Chains A and B, each alone.
Chain A
Amino acid sequence: EDKVVQSPLSLVVHEGDTVTLNCSYEVTNFRSLLWYKQEKKAPTFLFMLTSSGIEKKSGRLSSILDKKELFSILNITATQTGDSAVYLCAGAGGTSYGKLTFGQGTILTVHP
């Protein structure tokens, strides 16, 4: 059975701090690792990583995948209150596309 585990489960920081969210995975026939941000309702896409060691960046957010050690990290620098959300990590694999296994999520709270 595929498994994705995120840590920490929750995190409280102050504006300006840098945070690192962790995601480890065990996914059969692994193809990609995806990160989503969920603020109120629907998760919104952040990154998809398929190659090991190649960092993806979008503004203050960045992510990297280590396929040898089976984990990914999401970094957020200079955090803002608008970064407060649940961050979800998901692994894609198996024989069917579009079928993801999600981790429990990390609840990030950024205080002013």
Chain B
Amino acid sequence: NAGVTQTPKFQVLKTGQSMTLQCAQDMNHEYMSWYRQDPGMGLRLIHYSVGAGITDQGEVPNGYNVSRSTTEDFPLRLLSAAPSQTSVYFCASSYRPSPNEKLFFGSGTQLSVL
């Protein structure tokens, strides 16, 4: 079982460049989300999706864009990278609700913006 697959694992960008972080899951999970993790701040929600065609903003959405055209894929786009977006990014997915809200995480993407 592949689970949640994120690519790339590492990326270095220059300020102003754009890129897409890929996320795919093969568990037929309805719910998918993107988090960023910065030292001392835990994980903060960027965007999430409750199903194909439906997305919503999380706690820190500025500078990021998402779409959910299929159940399996949930890419995260950085529109114009800034040094403040240097972080580790995690994609996660979960089953239908109640009672299980357990998130399955991808292995993360370490992004540096110079």
Q: Which chain A residues have a beta carbon within 8 Å of chain B's beta carbons?
A: 4, 6, 9, 31-32, 34, 41-45, 48, 50, 88, 90, 92, 96-105
Contact = CB atoms under 8 A, between A and B. Distances in A.
Contact of B40 (A9, A34, A90): A9
Interface residues of B, number: 34
Given A42-B90, A42-B107, A97-B31, A102 B101 contact: no
A55 B93 CA distance: 26
Contact of A104 (B41, B94, B97, B107): B41
A3 to B, nearest CB: 11
B43 A32 contact: no
A26 B35 CA distance: 20
Interface in B80-104: 88, 90, 92-94, 96-104
A100 B107 contact: no
B75 interface: no
B58 A99 contact: yes
B86 to A, nearest CB: 17
B108 A88 contact: no
Interface of B: 30-33, 35, 40-45, 48, 50, 56, 58-59, 88, 90, 92-94, 96-108
Nearest to B35: A102
Nearest to B49: A98
B99 A42 contact: no
A45 B4 CA distance: 14
Contact of A42 (B31, B50, B58, B106): B106
Contacts of B100: 48
B42 A45 contact: no
Nearest to B43: A102
